[in-house]
Amino acid sequence: MAKAYARLLLDPCRAPLTYPVYGGSEGTYLAKFESYFTVGAAVQNGYLWWSPGTNSTTVKSCLVTGTNAASGTSITWASTLDLAGSEPGAVFLRTGTQVSAYRAVAACAEVMTLDTELNRQGIVACGTVSNGALYGLDSSVDQLSTLCNVATRTPSEKLEVVWQPGEAAAMFVDPTEAVAAQQVDRHNGILLAWSGFGAATAGMRVKLTLVVEWKPRRGTGLTSPGYAVQSRSSFAELVRYMADNSEKFIRIGGRIVNLLSYTGRRRTGLSEHAIGL
């Protein structure tokens, strides 16, 4: 199970669906969602933030905002554009007719510039970040860029950022109920910050992919699944494995971006041989 989950975590778009190693006794269903949209048209500096584990009708969990002022100019949180309904699974999760609670299993964001090669310019920074570093705060693009693992000239090929779950990812969330800011802060999100785009930029095409575990709501006719089958590998072992393979969480044109020249590999119960990646 750990081997299958590691594959899904590193490649949510193509790997077979499988349950995570979060723990807990709840029986759940698995589902995979995708969404496409365009951001950043005529916006020289901006950012896109998405929190896969806190999808709710009451909080901003996926937003984009930008400015044509300097990248160091602060953008107020109140002015950010909530993309409610654009994130994957929003309709299914938020209607309150099928889902009583859910938690994110795997997620990724794929981004490609819509500018021609002649007009392609600027810098893109991306990575998984703690929501507490930006949620509800006024921030500039420059401030947010420093949180990211990778910064690169706007690539001509697809840029893919894979979400890394934290301890709070194991918590179930009712997407129809209020989610406190402190709870959002405990989760991790995907951040993309861009700067120096041309004034006439066509923006970027974004694909978000989300795999979730979910529990049915009463009145749907669905039965609650039985006791969940658990992996013998712990979430802590998986986190150590992810740290050893952190360079695989950001890819440009399908190629791995090397985040660290030395990953500090450690021997754990979840070895590379056992994972098979």
Arithmetic mean of pLDDT over the chain: 87
100-113 pLDDT per residue, tens: 999 999 999 999 99
Query: Is 272 within the bounds of a domain?
Result: no
- What is the band of 47 on the pLDDT scale with cuts at 50, 70, 90? very high
Question: How many domains does the structure of the chain reveal?
Answer: 1
| Any domain includes 168 | yes
What does DSSP assign to residue 18?
-
For residue range 59-73, list pLDDT tens digits in order. Answer: 899 999 999 999 999
| CATH classification at residue 101 | 2.60.120.20
Specify which residues 49 forms β-bridges with. 63, 191
The Cα angle at residue 225 between residues 220 and 228, in degrees rounded to 5: 150
For residues 160 and 251, the answer to whether their CB atoms sit within 8 Å is yes
- pLDDT tens digits, residue range 85-98? 889 999 999 888 89
CA distance 144 to 50: 13
pLDDT of 199 higher than 90:
yes
Higher-pLDDT residue of 99 and 84 is: 99
pLDDT tens column, 117-164: 999 999 999 999 999 999 999 999 999 999 998 999 999 999 999 999
Q: What is the C-alpha to C-alpha distance for residues 244 and 238, in angstroms, rounded to an integer?
A: 10
Is residue 188 included in any domain, yes or no?
yes
Whether residue 6 lies inside any domain: the answer is yes
For residue 135, is it within any domain?
yes
**What would you report as the CA-atom Rg of the chain, rounded to the nearest whole angstrom?**
19
Pick 251 or 26 by higher pLDDT.
251
In a domain, 259, yes or no: no
| Residue that wins the pLDDT comparison between 194 and 251 | 194
DSSP 248: G
Residue pair 35/208 in contact by the 8 Å Cβ criterion: yes
**Cβ atoms 93, 212 nearer than 8 A:** yes
Burial 32-41 (b: 16+ CB within 10 A, else e): bbebebebbe
Give domain status of residue 180, yes or no.
yes
**pLDDT digit string, tens, across residues 223-261:** 887 766 677 777 888 877 777 766 678 888 877 665 443
Asked if residues 159 and 98 have their Cβ atoms less than 8 Å apart, the reply is: no
Provide the 3-class DSSP secondary structure of residue 273: helix
Could you list the residue range(s) of the whole structural domain that residue 30 is in?
2-254
Residue 268: inside a domain: no
